[in-house]
Amino acid sequence: MSDISLTSGMRANLLSLQSSVKLLDRTQERLSTGKKVNSALDNPVNFFTAQSHTSRANDLLAFKDAISESIQTIKAADTAITAITTLINSAKAVAEDAKGTLGESSYSQTLTVNTTTGLSGGNTISIGGSTFTAVTSAGSDTGANFYIGGSTTSDWAIGLAQAINRTTEATDDMTASVSNNVITISAVDTAHTMQTGDINVGAYTSVFTESSIGSGTELAAKVTQYNTLMSQLNDLKSDAFYKGKNLLNSETMTVRFGNDHTLSVTGFDGSAAGLGLDATASWSSESTIQSSIDKITDALTTLRIESSKLSSNLSIVDARDEWISSIANVLQTGADNLTLADTNEEGANMLMLQTRQSLSTSALSLSAQAAQSVLRLFQ
C-alpha cells in the first residue's frame, strides 16, 4: 500500500469500506453461530462467565444417568417389598387356617422322657384317663405302675410304655411304642382318639415333654403351604436386584448428586430369617401357630417401615433429579443471555452494512474519477 499513492478522499473511502467489510464479517459470524460472543476477544467477561455456567450445567447433567439408575434400583426394591408382603399375607392366612385344623382330638401324641431325676416313687401322671404311678422296685411294675429304677431315660420310657399298654388292654383304645426316650401313644383305630388333656404330667414338666394334639394330614398340608411360601419369599428376595444392587440383601447404595453431595440408601435383609419369620413351620398347637402369626405381624410392620424409608429416599432422589434438570436449564439460559445474539438486530445490521458497503464502493469510484480525468488527457 505504501508504494501506491491514493488521494485523501480515496483513502477515506477505502477505510470506510474496510470497516464495513469487517463489520459485515462479524455480523455474518453472529448470524451463523447465533452468538454475539464467540470468543474471549469479543467480550472476555461474558465469555468466561458463560463458559463457567455451561461447565457447571454439564457437570451436573453428567450425574443424571447414575441418578436415574438409582431411582430404578429403589423402585425394584419397593416392588419386591410389595410382592413379599403379598406372600407374607398369604402365609398369615395359611396360619390362621391351620388353627381350624386343630381339633380336640388326634390319633397320636408323643411323650418324651427328658431326665431320670425329678420323679420319685409314688409320683403320678395321668394318661388317657388312667393314673400311672412311679415305683422304684422292679417287682412292683404291674398294672399302672411303671418302674423308674433304670439308669437311662430310655429305660424309664420303656417302663411307662409297658404300663400304658397293660392298662389300656381292657379298653383297647390306646397303644404305646418307644423309640429311645420318646413314647408314641396312638389310638388303635379311627373310632378312638386322643383327646386334649389326655396326657397330664402335672408338676413333672421337667421330666416329661408332651406334644400337643395334632390333626394329621390337614395340618401337615398347611405346614407345607407355609414352608413353600417362605421358600418363595427367600427366592424373591434374592431376585430383587437391579444392575447388581440388591437393597433387600442388606446392601447400601450411594447416590451422588455432584458437589461432593451424596445420599446413602441403606437396605435391609428381606429374607424370612431377616424378617424374624420361621423359615420352616413346626406347628403342633394353637400356641405354636400363634407364635408364627405374631412373627408375621412383626414382619409386616418391618416391611412397612422399610418401604416408608425407601419411599422417602426415592422422594429425595426424584427431587434432586428434577432440580438438576431445572438448575441446568437456568445455568444454560444464563450463559445464553450473556452470549447469544439478537438475530433480528443482527439481520438489520447486515442490511445496513450491505447498504453502507455499496455506498462506500460508489464513493470510492467517484473519488477515483479525478485520476481518470488525468488519464484522458493522455489519450
Residues 209 and 284 in one domain: no
Q: How far apart are CA 218 and CA 213, in angstroms?
A: 13
Enter the C-alpha cell of residue 26: 462479524
Residues 110 and 209 in one domain: yes
Q: In this structure, is residue 153 part of a structural domain?
A: yes
In whole angstroms, what separates CA 325 from the centre of its chain? 26
Q: Where are the alpha helices (DSSP H) in 34-131?
A: 44-61, 64-100
How many domains are there within the chain? 2
- Give me the residue label for grid cell 416408608: 308
Residues 307 and 247 in one domain: yes
Q: 199: part of which helix (H) or strand (E)?
A: strand 199-200
Residues 234 and 311 in one domain: yes
Q: In this structure, is residue 303 part of a structural domain?
A: yes
Of 213, 236, 261, the one marking the end of a domain is 213
Q: Centre a 10 Å sphere on the Cβ of residue 257 and count the other Cβ atoms it contains.
A: 20
Q: How far apart are CA 187 and CA 193, in angstroms?
A: 5
Q: How far apart are CA 99 and CA 212, in angstroms?
A: 13
Helix, strand, coil share (%) of the chain residues, nearest 5: 55, 15, 30
Q: In this structure, is residue 40 part of a structural domain?
A: no
- The residues near 118 (Cβ < 8 Å, ≥ 6 apart) are 204, 206, 207
Kindly state the DSSP code that residue 137 receives in the 8-state scheme. Answer: -
- The residues near 63 (Cβ < 8 Å, ≥ 6 apart) are 256, 257, 258, 324
Sheet with 199-200, side-by-side order of all strands: 145-147, 130-135, 124-127, 199-200
Q: In this structure, is residue 15 part of a structural domain?
A: no
pLDDT value at position 104?
A: 46
Backbone phi, psi, residue 147, to 5°: -85, 130
Let me know: does 74 contact 80? Beta carbons within 8 Å. Answer: no
pLDDT value at position 218?
A: 75
Residues 167 and 237 in one domain: no
Helix, strand, or coil here: 124? strand
Residues 137 and 74 in one domain: no
Of 184, 213, 242, the one marking the end of a domain is 213
Let me know: does 156 contact 204? Beta carbons within 8 Å. Answer: no
Of 188, 213, 238, the one marking the end of a domain is 213
Q: In this structure, is residue 224 part of a structural domain?
A: yes
Residues 249 and 294 in one domain: yes
Q: Which of these, 66, 51, 54, lies nearest to 328 by C-alpha position?
A: 54
pLDDT value at position 102?
A: 67
| Domain span at 321 | 64-100+219-325
Residues 117 and 188 in one domain: yes
pLDDT value at position 310?
A: 93
Residues 168 and 72 in one domain: no
Q: In this structure, is residue 128 part of a structural domain?
A: yes
Let me know: does 290 contact 57? Beta carbons within 8 Å. Answer: no
pLDDT value at position 368?
A: 61
- The residues near 344 (Cβ < 8 Å, ≥ 6 apart) are none
Q: How far apart are CA 167 and CA 43, in angstroms?
A: 113
Which CATH number fits the domain that encloses residue 260? 1.20.1330.10
Residues 226 and 250 in one domain: yes
Let me know: does 356 contact 13? Beta carbons within 8 Å. Answer: no
Residues 87 and 161 in one domain: no
Q: In this structure, is residue 205 part of a structural domain?
A: yes
Greatest extent of the chain over all pairs of C-alpha atoms, in Å: 168
Each of the 379 residues of the chain gets a pLDDT tens digit; together they read: 456 666 666 667 667 666 766 767 677 777 767 677 777 777 788 888 888 888 888 888 888 889 999 999 999 999 999 999 999 999 999 999 888 776 544 567 788 899 888 888 889 888 877 888 999 888 888 888 998 888 899 988 898 888 888 887 545 577 888 989 988 887 766 555 565 567 788 888 888 887 765 455 677 788 889 999 999 999 999 999 998 899 999 999 999 988 788 999 999 999 999 999 988 888 877 788 899 999 999 999 999 999 999 999 999 999 999 998 898 889 888 887 787 666 677 677 677 767 766 766 666 666 666 656 655 666 5
Residues 110 and 96 in one domain: no
Burial class of residue 15 in the structure, from the number of CB atoms within 10 Å of its CB (0-12 exposed, 13-18 middle, 19+ buried): exposed
Q: In this structure, is residue 54 part of a structural domain?
A: no
